[in-house]
């Protein structure tokens, strides 16, 4: 198979292959038969994550001592890709959950690790992320939600947009301003979703990834203890960036999965659909599209696996993750359009899945840092901060 050749070049371990195969098996059995209906109904398949949890998929990045699988980021990327190959919404749900696991592992103290990681890894307990606000998207430092000190902790107030998993989560990693004087004084908190004062104000209707839950959360006088603070007070922005950098590997892998699904569907259709007495794949106008699609998929995978391997090795991976996400998301969006074109009129109907891939692909260029943000990161690595005031 095409993916075996591209993955073989990366010399995947048996454990990595096994985890990828397990995710593919679950996706084929538990998601594929239902995903079209879930997408049509904008349904969040909560029961699916009970099964993924039992299989260890939600605890891939959590060390064994905390109840997880203890696998590396390459295995994680493979699992996300296989899920996204069938349903991009399920893939981003697992990706954001894993991002929270990683944030607790890297930024949390031992008490927080022991409190949350076993639940996130093995107790059917989803993690959510709350960063964006109406006036704070790419400019995360502009957020206005506040955390005011109280006698025994903090009182949280504010509104958050586009919180993935927010309606169904057990714990939310939320970002709040702990000082009005310092624009950068943002702190991260681990907030139990059952805490009084948290309300789901709106579930967002989206162009794609319909099976993913995205909502607006209101925090009205939400009281949390001091042990809810994740990392040091005022260091939440760097904490959020730590989480997002790892999350970008997940989104790059999601884009690879969407692109792989486009290729699968397009090759199948090109062999079966006939025009002018022969399969449409016999025409160069189609075969060249497939050739470019396969080439870009290989390139996207290798960029993603490289970033994942560097992350697992504890080496710098920020720029590599940005390159992987930038390339993979652009390729997924472009080739999803080509997949629709190859399918002709059928591609514009819900009878074939490529219209869903087309809708799902676009968001990979936006969340976890837009393509423009990735270009800024890559450009600064090449040129330095030429935009700094002198």
Q: Give domain status of residue 10, yes or no.
A: yes
What pLDDT was estimated at residue 64?
A: 97
**What CATH number corresponds to the domain at position 43?**
1.10.540.10
Q: Which of 126, 152, 167 is the last residue of a domain?
A: 126
Same domain, 14 and 122: yes
Phi, psi of 235 (to 5 degrees): -110, 20
Rounded CA-CA distance 262/337 in Å is 9
3-class secondary-structure state, position 42: coil
Q: How many domains does the structure of the chain reveal?
A: 3
Q: Give domain status of residue 367, yes or no.
A: yes
Catalytic residue, candidates 3, 82, 320, 368: 368
**What CATH number corresponds to the domain at position 134?**
2.40.110.10
3-class secondary-structure state, position 162: strand
128 membership: H or E segment, kind and range: strand 127-130
What pLDDT was estimated at residue 2?
A: 47
Yes or no: say if 118 and 66 are a contact pair by the CB < 8 Å rule. yes
Count of CB atoms within 10 A of residue 280's CB? Answer: 19
Same domain, 255 and 376: yes
Rounded CA-CA distance 299/147 in Å is 43
Same domain, 120 and 165: no
The candidate with the shortest Cα–Cα distance to 90, out of 16, 39, 15, 56, is 39
- CA distance between the termini of the chain: 54
Per the listing, tokens 């330095």 go with 384
Percent of the chain surpassing pLDDT 70: 96
Q: Give domain status of residue 12, yes or no.
A: yes
Same domain, 109 and 119: yes
Residue 183 has pLDDT above 70, yes or no: no
Mark whether 111 is an active-site residue.
no
Q: Give domain status of residue 176, yes or no.
A: yes
Residue 390 has pLDDT above 60, yes or no: no
Same domain, 16 and 113: yes
Q: Give domain status of residue 103, yes or no.
A: yes
Per the listing, tokens 């993913």 go with 212
Q: Which of 215, 236, 257 is the last residue of a domain?
A: 236
pLDDT in tens, 111-168: 999 999 999 999 989 999 999 998 887 887 789 999 999 999 999 999 999 999 999 9
Q: Which of 105, 126, 147 is the last residue of a domain?
A: 126
Same domain, 91 and 153: no
Q: Give domain status of residue 388, yes or no.
A: no
pLDDT in tens, 307-348: 999 999 999 999 999 999 999 999 999 999 999 999 999 999
Q: Give domain status of residue 390, yes or no.
A: no
Same domain, 122 and 144: no
Which structural domain, as residue segments, surrounds residue 222? Answer: 128-236
Yes or no: say if 57 and 23 are a contact pair by the CB < 8 Å rule. yes
Q: Give domain status of residue 389, yes or no.
A: no
Same domain, 259 and 363: yes
Residue 7 has pLDDT above 50, yes or no: yes
């Amino acid at each position: 198979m095409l993916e075996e050749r591209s993955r073989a070049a990366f010399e995947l371990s048996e454990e990595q292959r096994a985890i990828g195969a397990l995710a593919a098996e679950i996706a084929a059995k538990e998601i594929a038969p239902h995903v079209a209906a879930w997408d049509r109904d904008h349904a969040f398949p909560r029961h699916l994550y009970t099964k993924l949890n039992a299989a260890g998929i939600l605890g891939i990045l959590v060390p064994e001592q905390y109840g997880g699988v203890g696998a590396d980021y390459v295995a994680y990327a493979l699992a996300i890709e296989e899920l996204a190959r069938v349903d991009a919404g399920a893939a981003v749900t697992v990706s954001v959950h894993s991002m929270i696991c990683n944030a607790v592992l890297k930024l949390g103290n031992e008490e927080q690790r022991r409190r949350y990681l076993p639940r996130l890894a093995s107790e059917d307990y989803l993690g959510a992320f709350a960063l964006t606000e109406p006036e704070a998207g790419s400019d995360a430092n502009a957020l206005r939600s506040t955390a005011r000190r109280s006698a025994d902790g903090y009182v949280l107030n504010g509104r958050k947009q586009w919180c993935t998993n927010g309606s169904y989560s057990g714990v939310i990693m939320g970002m709040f301003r702990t000082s009005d004087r310092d624009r950068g004084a943002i702190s991260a908190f681990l907030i139990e979703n059952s805490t009084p004062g948290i309300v789901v104000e709106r579930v967002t209707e989206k162009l794609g990834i319909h099976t993913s839950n995205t909502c607006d959360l209101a925090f009205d006088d939400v009281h949390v203890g001091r042990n809810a603070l994740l990392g040091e007070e005022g260091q939440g922005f760097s904490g959020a960036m730590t989480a997002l950098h790892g999350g970008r590997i997940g989104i790059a892998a999601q884009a690879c999965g969407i692109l792989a699904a486009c290729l699968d569907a397009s090759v199948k259709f090109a062999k079966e659909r006939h025009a002018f007495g022969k399969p449409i794949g016999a025409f160069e106008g189609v075969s060249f599209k497939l050739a470019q699609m396969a080439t870009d998929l290989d390139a996207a995978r290798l960029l993603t696996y490289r970033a994942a391997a560097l992350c697992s090795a504890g080496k710098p991976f920020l720029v590599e993750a940005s390159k992987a996400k930038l390339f993979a998301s652009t390729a997924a969006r472009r080739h999803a359009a080509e997949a629709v074109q190859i399918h002709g009129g059928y591609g514009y109907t819900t009878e074939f899945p490529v219209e869903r891939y087309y809708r799902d692909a676009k968001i990979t260029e936006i969340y976890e840092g837009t393509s423009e943000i990735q270009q800024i990161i890559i450009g600064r690595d090449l040129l330095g901060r030429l935009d700094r005031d002198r």
